[in-house]
Amino acid sequence: MHIAIVQHEIEWESPERNFEALRPLIDEAAATGAELITLTETFSWGFSMNTDRVNEPVDGPSTQFLLGEAARTGAWIVGSIPVRPAGAELPHNRMTFAGPDGSVETYDKIHPFSFSGEDQSYRAGSERRTMKIADLRITPFVCFDLRFADEFWDLAPTTDCYLIVANWPASRRAHWQHLLLARAIENQAWVVAANRVGSDPNVDYAGDSMIIDPFGEVVARGDETTSIVSADVDPERVSEIRTAYPFLEDRR
């Protein structure tokens, strides 16, 4: 599967402006032949704790944007959205996969980032997910989830690719880079990681979106600018590495 990352800036708490800015970038990503295009965490709002304002219903504008772009391009489109189900006090930070056929798959961020107060503004998810898109088994995670290796370990046997969306700050740039490499190497799986660039009222971001193969080789990487990062992600490479180096069999 050819996967493209849209590494982009986010206009603070301005979904319509972000939709407008993202459409030509999605077109650019689709032109690479991408079957799946991933945006970043909270791609339409920014990483805001103002969830009295920053929240949407399950079928809200950001979900409809993803579905519309998927139908328009013929590719799966992914990003996370502050989704508040009916009757819920707080929203989830919900990673949403929109298919070109109108199907939707979701994952709710399990580990809210308490350092920034996300745990006070967003509900923690409780279900880990692995979904199959075409011939690729994809396990999604969101930003701070990256620090919890056990979550990745548990799902490794049935995962070809970890797909991570983030608003990871430039001040911990080295952590992002090294943790992504570690997750690929220790689980012998692809890692596709989309991080934003630019700044919001609180934080600067450095991008460094990456596609890493199951042997820990970086096959595509973004810099600090708005850009498209893409590569072929082949599940056969996972089988090849796990057969040549059967390390997962020794995991306890």
Choose, from 9, 11, 41, 118, the residue flagged as catalytic: 41
C-alpha 36/C-alpha 169 separation (Å) is 25
Distance between CA atoms of residues 47 and 10, nearest Å: 9
**Catalytic residue status for 109:** yes
CA 148 to chain centre: 15
Of the residues 11, 35, 109, 161, which is catalytic?
109
The one catalytic residue among 11, 69, 118, 143? 143
Q: Map residue 232 onto helix, strand or coil.
A: strand
Give backbone dihedrals phi and psi of 93, rounded to 5 degrees, phi first: -90, 95
143 is catalytic: yes
Long-range contacts of 55-61 (CB under 8 A, 24+ apart): 55/82, 55/83, 55/84, 55/91, 56/81, 56/82, 56/83, 56/84, 56/91, 57/83, 57/84, 57/85, 57/86, 58/83, 58/85, 58/86, 61/15, 61/16, 61/19
As annotated, the active-site residues are 41, 109, 143
